[in-house]
Amino acid sequence: MSTDRIEKDTVLRAPREKVWRALTDATQFGEWFGCKLDGPFVAGQNVTGHIVPTTVDPDVAKLQEPHRGFPIAWQIDRIEPMTLFSFRWHPFAIDPKVDYSGEPMTLVTFELADAAEGTSLRITETGFEKIPLERRARAFAANDGGWAHQAELLGKYLTQ
């Protein structure tokens, strides 16, 4: 098992165009993911925002509530229409007393492909081995479970 890479594969019962919009429209992304972003996703640019509970699942929203208002900052990496969307962030950066800006970021990639039942989605996050050792295992474990939840939230969002 890799300690540097998380991969989650799922098939979403929605057309590829709808999945693409849910991933790359910052407002839609925020609704299912649980954040409010201050601008659109543009390759090569930064986007900031803050955590707000998801609108899709009340149980997950309760888990996100203690982090409401916490700032987030992402660097949008690539946007390859209908195929790939990626960004860099500081994984599991939820302690308001810690300045994460000096730490390396991980790379989160969403890859789409057609599937008989809808759209295949692979979520990959890499770069954990560069995260400071005192945070690495916890960040990896949190995001491993987190991406499984986020894939479910996206599926629920797409069927609303």
What's the whole-model pTM score?
0.96
d(CA 87, CA 110): 9
Length, in residues, of the chain: 160
Quickly count: other Cβ atoms within 10 Å of residue 13's Cβ.
12
Of residues 16 and 97, more confidently modeled: 16
Q: Which of 33, 132, 31 is nearest to 87 (CA)?
A: 33
Beta pairing class for 84-89 and 71-80: antiparallel
Of 40, 88, 47, 106, which Cα lies nearest the Cα of 71?
47
Rounded to 10°, the helix 16-24/133-158 angle is 130
Judged against a pLDDT cut of 90, whether residue 130 lies above it is answered with yes
pLDDT digits (tens, 9 = 90+) for 66-81: 999 999 999 999 999 9
